[in-house]
Structure 1
Amino acid sequence: MKRRVKRRRGEKSTLCNKPIIVIRIQGKQDMHPTTRKHLLSLGLRKIFSAVFVKPTDGVMAKLARVEPYVTYGYPNLKSIKELIYKKGHAKIDRRKVPLTDNNLIEQELGRFGIVCIEDMVHQIENVGPYFMEVVRFMWPFELNKPADGLKGLKNRFKDGGDSGDREDLINELINKMN
């Protein structure tokens, strides 16, 4: 873990304006306390939970530190919609409430001009001005274990494993886990 963080890699200098979905794929066994704190700050408390994050330098640094425990990439519109409609839940008064009613969304996010699920999808897809408010309003997605399992948890995706940056190939994993 230490060598992975210290090792210099060619990083992308320009951050694109697309949301990143982060999926936790490993448990907490043999995990450093700092790594656990980074996962908790991303909102990934359980295995196979997923969250949307805004691509900033700070988030990319966190993802580099927790890379062996997560996989991440850039979801397309279809994957974002399916996740929100199938697995979407809201945080209301510290309770988990399914996103079934637009009145619920209008009460909580109406002051930002977000009145329905489609507005939430639009904010997430375009990393709009109220992206963070929408993400804070939503409970982390609880995905299913993939039917065919994960091939190599310890190895990076580029090296034939599962952890790390998948870029646009994250959509295939989301479809398996949804």
Structure 2
Amino acid sequence: VKLNKATISMLRIAEPFIAWGYPSLRTVKELVYKRGFGKFQRRRLPLTDNTFIENILGKRDVVCVEDIIHEIYTVGKNFQPVTNFLWPFKLNNPTGGWRKKTTHYVEGGDFGNREEKINQLLLRMI
């Protein structure tokens, strides 16, 4: 999600139900490679072939999986078309389970703004 004043206020409202933060490039790369699927004619297709990506997003200079990762991580000019092309990521529960899902992260729980520590949680969920 592109981070601006409006999305921050929406995240604050939903904060008791979600964990959020700022992922690293490594985490975004693993997420796209392991859990990434593209949308084409309302179907979910794996991102295994760069020609598939080039046919759909080529006019926006996105021709491979690495370009998708770059647009997501840097929130580039083609961020919106790339995120619309991607199927929502399906994640598992974290290995080892949730610690305290009813309390905030700053109180030792699991939900809320984890900042850069979201990477540890995401790697357990991928």
Q: Give the shorter-chain TM-score range.
A: over 0.9
Q: 2:56: which partner in 1?
A: 108
Compare 167-176 and 146-155 and name the one that shifted more: 146-155
Tell me whether 1:124 sits opposite 2:99 in the alignment: no
Q: 2:29: which partner in 1?
A: 81
For 1:145, which of 79, 86, 93 is the aligned residue?
A: 93
Q: Report the Cα distance in structure 2 between the residues aligned to 1:147 and 1:58, rounded to whole angstroms.
A: 32
What do residues 37-67 of structure 1 show as CA deviations (whole Å, max 9, x unaligned)? xxxxxxxxxxxxxxxx110111111111111
Q: Report the Cα distance in structure 2 between the residues aligned to 1:174 and 1:147, rounded to whole angstroms.
A: 10
Tell me whether 1:61 sits opposite 2:9 in the alignment: yes
Q: Secondary structure at the match of 1:90?
A: strand
Unpaired runs of 5+ residues, structure 1, are: 1-52
**Residue identity in the other structure for 2:32:** I
Percent identity of equivalent pairs: 44
Give the C-alpha shift of residue 90 in structure 1: 0.8
Give the C-alpha shift of residue 124 in structure 1: 1.1
Q: Secondary structure at the match of 2:9?
A: helix
CA RMSD of aligned residues (A): 0.9
Query: Of Structure 1 and Structure 2, which has the larger fraction of its residues in helix?
Result: 2
Unpaired runs of 5+ residues, structure 2, are: none
Say if 1:68 and 1:153, in contact at 8 Å, map to a contact too. no
Q: What does 1:151-170 align with in structure 2 at a 5 Å threshold?
A: 151-170=99-118
Q: Report the Cα distance in structure 2 between the residues aligned to 1:120 and 1:91, rounded to whole angstroms.
A: 13
Higher relative contact order, structure no. (Cα contacts within 8 Å, ≥ 6 residues apart): 2
For 1:95, which of 37, 43, 46 is the aligned residue?
A: 43
> What is the TM-score of this pair, normalised by structure 2?
0.96
